């Protein structure tokens, strides 16, 4: 099981790296990132994912949790779907110039994604949560990311 998971994750990272270094990828990435950020900003505000809300929740509980409604659909609860979700989120984090894939750990269980590690700001925690939340198959995002002191 671990070998299969490692293989799937490795393939996802390899695809992300090949895409990242291809000609025009930086322009495409910047455009896609801006478009995704613009289209999800209102959604994240509706979910209470402002920088201040994230700081308050981290201070109060040590984590930030948002759930999708049950009507939005159920993820397939098997290791293959979870590995695909984790790989997709990691690839998106690698492609985002404001996030460090080495500082953010992603794990998925039954469509529930947990982000842990550090980010440089509350805005970057928001970016990571937005990336995870907008990935197909994700039913819940839990972030224990903390802001890394400067």
User: Given this model, what pLDDT does residue 24 score?
Assistant: 58
User: Given this model, what pLDDT does residue 14 score?
Assistant: 67
Reading phi first (left if > 0) and then psi (alpha if -120 to 50, else beta), residue 73 is in: left
Tokens at 68, concatenated = 């999708």
Nearest to 32, CA basis, from 79, 72, 77, 91: 91
CA distance 46 to 126: 13
User: Given this model, what pLDDT does residue 63 score?
Assistant: 83
User: Given this model, what pLDDT does residue 79 score?
Assistant: 66
User: Given this model, what pLDDT does residue 37 score?
Assistant: 66
What letter would DSSP give residue 120?
Answer: S
CA distance 91 to 57: 27
User: Given this model, what pLDDT does residue 9 score?
Assistant: 73
CA distance 92 to 34: 13
pLDDT digit string (tens) for the chain, length 150 residues: 667 667 777 777 767 665 555 555 556 656 666 676 666 676 666 677 777 888 888 888 888 777 766 544 444 446 688 899 999 999 999 999 999 999 999 999 888 999 999 999 999 999 999 999 999 989 999 999 999 876
- Cβ atoms within 10 A of the Cβ of 36, count? 16
Longest CA span, the chain? 45
């Amino acid at each position: 099981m671990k070998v299969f998971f490692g293989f799937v994750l490795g393939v996802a990272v390899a695809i992300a790296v090949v895409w990242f270094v291809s000609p025009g990828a930086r322009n495409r990435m910047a455009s896609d990132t801006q478009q995704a950020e613009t289209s999800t900003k209102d959604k994240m505000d509706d979910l209470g994912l402002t920088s201040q809300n994230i700081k308050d929740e981290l201070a109060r509980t040590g984590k930030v949790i948002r759930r999708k409604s049950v009507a939005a659909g159920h993820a397939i609860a098997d290791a293959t779907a979870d590995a695909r979700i984790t790989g997709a989120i990691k690839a998106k984090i690698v492609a985002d110039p404001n996030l460090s894939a080495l500082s953010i750990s992603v794990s998925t269980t039954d469509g529930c994604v947990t982000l842990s590690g550090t980010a440089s700001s509350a805005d970057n925690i928001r970016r990571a949560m937005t990336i995870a939340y907008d990935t197909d198959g994700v039913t819940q995002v839990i972030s224990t990311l903390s802001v890394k002191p400067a």
